[in-house]
Structure formats: structure tokens, C-alpha cells
Amino acid sequence: MPTPKLTTWQLIAGSTALGLVIATGAVALAGPWDSGQRKAERDRAASRAPGGGAHHQAPARVKAPAPAPSAPGVLAVLGAPGNVPAGKSLSAVLDPLLSDPALGSVRTAAVIDTATGRQLYGSGADRPMTPASTVKLATTTAALSALGPDHRIATTVRASADGKHLTLVGGGDPTLSKDRLRALADDTVRVLRDRGVTSVSLSYDISLYSGPQIHPIGINDNIAPVVALMTDEGRVDGSDHGPAPRTGDPAGDTARTFAGMLKDRGVTADTDSAPAGAPAGSTPIARTNSDPLSALVERALTNSDNDLAEALARQTALAAGEPASFEGAGRAVKAELAKLQLPVEDAQFADGSGLDRNDRVTASLLARVLARAADPASPRLRPVLTGLPIAGFSGTLADRYTGSASGTGLVRAKTGTLTGVNTLAGTVVAADGRLLSFAFLASDTASPYTAQPALDRLATALATRKLS
């Protein structure tokens, strides 16, 4: 019997699923979480995590899970025989699951065939809803579209003509680490020594951003003050993701830390207590760059990183000539998505992270954002897909989809959680080989512990049933 020929999209889907199997070992230990939003969730995680889990961290794993749960899906994609249930219409499969009382009083859904762009299923798909952290899909897509995956965010040191006054200039990089700040100090001192300078005054410049620094939710462990200069996202407990205590002055703290690093290297630095712009005539003498935007997007989505999401929204605003504020970023994100011909007419982007309940998007928009990221004609958007957590393995889905016959390893999705709001949007390789994008949004939910499994069952149905 001749070997059946596979279409291009089947091969792509097969490669995607197989790639998940290969990738699981590398990502299984990552274990970030949805920066969410609910003290009860953090307390529950703390009680379950082996090491205390004080920051709602996904359970630690001794070793990477075996890829066996993904094998049936991979075989199905490649045309091998498998135990696949008989075909059903999407409505017959999803309608009963979507009516689960655990999903609250309002629930909407959209499913799209990424190969054709055709919406295969919709239930209230055009109704604007509070998306919680799934709004990060829109934020990161807009940033990649506006700036490209190779864009980096710079933090610079400028010096006056005589070299005796330095200005640490924030470029909006919340991922600036102490190690990179030390390297910046090394480069700065090298230049100063060449000029014979051993004593300087140091100021810092955060004028790149405008508007309120405090997120509308107020002072909160889920996000630091949104300023253009900070180190390690303003965290004061040594953590690198998830809810954590934050400094109230991330820019000032960074400048003072930098001054101490200069002193350790033989250059005395008197630090101004208030931010100020660089003097006229100053020139850059040292610089440190963030990782490429592609890596920042993946981190923002896998970790549900609120600080990074807000920074990417402001980078989009700067690219669009808008003020780098909550309002300016919201306008820029919406305008950039409109350029991609995505349905943003009724969308509202009050922030970039999804912590603001005034955000409004539709299930159709989120599903189409993902379908556009899967489009072969949009390679610059691909990090939106590669950054999605993998069910049962990584990120905010590390401790979900762990039951038998689930979508473990086959579903990749961004989670969203606010009190009374639970959402899930991502991609899945269906049993017939199609790569589908989906979005499920629910509001007025009573508990995330019942709503999240209900959402997971919806995505699992797409992965494990043959659909007509």
C-alpha cells in the first residue's frame, strides 16, 4: 500500500506536537505560575509545594515527566493508527462542557482552524469579557509586530563632557539584573579611569515613562511600580517570578546600588536622591541590553510576568509615538493589532498585564491573535506560540492537566485568573492533525479550583476527540 502523502499543515502540526515531546525535558523544571491574583490560590500552593511554595510556585519535579502522554497525539498527527473516538461536531462536544456551572454565569468561546483561519466554533465569541492574564497574548503580539523579535531594551550610562557627572538612564527593562548592573559598572569605570576620573556625582533618569507609576490595583505583590529603571523587577526576596514583596522605589534603589558598585571599583559616587535628566552635552559611555524581545515575550507568557508585560506595552507605545503610560500603551496595543487586521473594535486595553478589570477583549480576538501567530506569513509573531505554557509540564500549566486521558503535553495555553474570572487561550493539535487555536473566557466563577479544571476539559476535548 502506498504511503499516504501529508499536507504541509499536517507536517507542521506533527512537528509542533513532536517538538513538545522533545521540549518537555528542558522545561519541566521551570515551574513558574500565573501571577495571579488571589491570596487563596497562593496559600493553597504553599500548602502543596514541597519547599514551602510561598510564591504560588508550581510543584517541584524530581525528574522530567515521561513524554508518553503526548505519544498518541503525535502518532495521530503522523497518520499512524490510534485509539481515536468517533468524530463528533464541535458543538456536540463543547456545548455540554461550556455549560458547566463551574464556569460561572457568563462564558464565551472561540475555536479557529489555524491553517484556514476559519472559525470552527463560537459561543458568544464577539462578546467583550475581562480576560485577566490572557490579555498578555495581545500585549506581546503587538510588541513583536511593532518592534520585531530582535529588539532589545537598553539601560545606559551617560557622562558629562568632563566625566564628573554620570546619569543612569532607564530604558524600560524590568529584567535588568544585578549581574548586568555590575557589568555596566565595570564598563563605566573602565572609561572613567581612561579619563583620570575617580569621583563623580550620579543621577538617574526615568523620564522615558509618563503617567502614574502605581498600577490601578494599587501596591501589590503581583507588580512593582511601573518605572523605566529597576533591577530584578523590584523584588526584595531574591525570587525571579511570581508574587513577591517589592520595593517602593525601584529606580532609586537601582541608582544607589549602582553607586555602591562604582565605589567598590574605586570611583566615589555621590547619588542624587531624586530623578533628573542627563545634562545637556552628555554622551553615552556604557550600555547593557536586555535579551531579545523574542525571549522577553516567551518569559512574559510562560511566567505570566506582569512587570514584563507592562514594559512591553510601553515599548509598543514608544514605537508608535504614544506616551509610555497606561493610556498611551493601551492605544498603541490596540492600533498595532488593528494593523494586523484583528477584531479590536470593542477591545479595551487598560493595562498590558491583565491585572486591571477594565480590560475587555473577545474570545474571537484572542483565538485570532493565536491563529495569526501561527500563520507562516507572520514569523515575527512566532514567540507568542513558543512562549505558551505546556499542559502538565511548564509555566502556569505545570500543575494542571495531570489526570489520565488528559491533554497533557498536547495543549499549550495562556492562563488567566482574577477573583471571579478564569480564562484559557492557546493552541492544540487535534486528533485529526489540525492545529487549532482557542479561547475560553468565564466570569462570575465561584472558585478557580472548579473553574480551571472545567476550562482544561474544554481544551482537552479538542486534543483527544476526532471532530467532524
Roughly how many angstroms between the first and final C-alpha of the chain, as a whole number?
26
**Alpha helices for 170-270 (secondary structure H):** 178-194, 250-264
Say yes or no to pLDDT of 32 above 80: no
356-394 pLDDT tens trace: 999 999 999 999 999 999 999 999 999 999 999 999 999
74 and 135, same domain (yes or no): yes
47-52 LR contacts (CB < 8 Å, sep 24+): 48/399
229 and 349, same domain (yes or no): no
Domain for residue 3, yes or no?
A: no
CA–centroid distance for 289 within its chain:
19
264 and 345, same domain (yes or no): no
Q: What is the CATH number of the domain that holds 101?
A: 3.40.710.10
160 and 215, same domain (yes or no): yes
Burial class (CB in 10 A: 0-12, 13-18, 19+), 84: middle
81 and 33, same domain (yes or no): yes
Specify which residues 74 forms β-bridges with.
none
Say yes or no to pLDDT of 201 above 50: yes
Instruction: Label residue 467 by pLDDT band (50, 70, 90).
Output: low
* C-alpha to C-alpha distance for 164 and 160, rounded to whole angstroms: 6
107 and 181, same domain (yes or no): no
> Cell triple for residue 335?
492600533
Say yes or no to pLDDT of 43 above 50: no
132 and 209, same domain (yes or no): no
In this prediction, residues 198-226 reach a mean pLDDT of: 96
Cβ 365 vs Cβ 441: under 8 Å: no
Query: Among 54, 142, 116, which Cα is nearest to 344's?
Result: 142
In this prediction, residues 313-319 reach a mean pLDDT of: 98
Boundaries of domain holding 58? 8-150+295-306+323-464
Q: Does 133 participate in catalysis according to the annotation?
A: yes
51 and 164, same domain (yes or no): no
Number of domains in the chain: 2
Least confident of 87-91, 130-134, 206-210, 406-410: 87-91
- Catalytic residue, from 35, 70, 133, 325: name it: 133
Q: What is the spatial order of strands in the sheet that 283-289 belongs to?
A: 268-271, 199-205, 165-169, 154-159, 283-289
Within 13 Å and on the Cβ side, how many CA atoms surround 296? 31
In this prediction, residues 254-269 reach a mean pLDDT of: 97
Query: Among 410, 426, 391, 458, which Cα is nearest to 75's?
Result: 410
Instruction: Label residue 465 by pLDDT band (50, 70, 90).
Output: confident
338 and 419, same domain (yes or no): yes
Domain for residue 318, yes or no?
A: no
Domain for residue 315, yes or no?
A: no
In this prediction, residues 54-65 reach a mean pLDDT of: 34
228-250 pLDDT tens trace: 999 999 999 999 989 999 999 99
94-146 pLDDT tens trace: 999 999 999 999 999 999 999 999 999 999 999 999 999 999 999 999 999 99
What's the pLDDT score for residue 71? 33
Say yes or no to pLDDT of 443 above 90: yes
DSSP 330-380: HHHHHHHHHHTT---TT-B-S-SSS-STT-BB-HHHHHHHHHHHH-TT-GG
Instruction: Label residue 464 by pLDDT band (50, 70, 90).
Output: confident
Domain for residue 311, yes or no?
A: no
Specify which residues 148 forms β-bridges with.
none
What pTM, to 2 d.p., does this model score? Answer: 0.83
- Catalytic residue, from 304, 325, 394, 437: name it: 304
* C-alpha to C-alpha distance for 335 and 339, rounded to whole angstroms: 6
174-191 pLDDT tens trace: 999 999 999 999 999 999
Domain for residue 348, yes or no?
A: yes
Cβ 134 vs Cβ 425: under 8 Å: yes
Which amino acid is residue 119, in one-letter code? Q
Say yes or no to pLDDT of 163 above 50: yes
Instruction: Label residue 14 by pLDDT band (50, 70, 90).
Output: very low
Query: Among 97, 96, 122, 119, which Cα is nearest to 108's?
Result: 122
245 and 129, same domain (yes or no): no
Domain for residue 218, yes or no?
A: yes
Domain for residue 314, yes or no?
A: no
What's the pLDDT score for residue 91? 94
Neighbours of 419 (CB within 10 A): 16
In this prediction, residues 261-288 reach a mean pLDDT of: 92
Domain for residue 312, yes or no?
A: no
- Catalytic residue, from 70, 136, 282, 325: name it: 136
Q: What is the CATH number of the domain that holds 219?
A: 3.50.80.20
Strands 199-205 and 268-271: parallel
Say yes or no to pLDDT of 171 above 90: yes
* C-alpha to C-alpha distance for 458 and 253, rounded to whole angstroms: 46
What's the pLDDT score for residue 272? 80
Average model confidence (pLDDT) across the chain: 84
What's the pLDDT score for residue 431? 85
Query: φ, ψ for residue 47 (rounded to 5)?
Result: -75, -20
412-430 pLDDT tens trace: 999 999 999 999 999 999 8
370 and 441, same domain (yes or no): yes
What's the pLDDT score for residue 3? 41
444 and 356, same domain (yes or no): yes
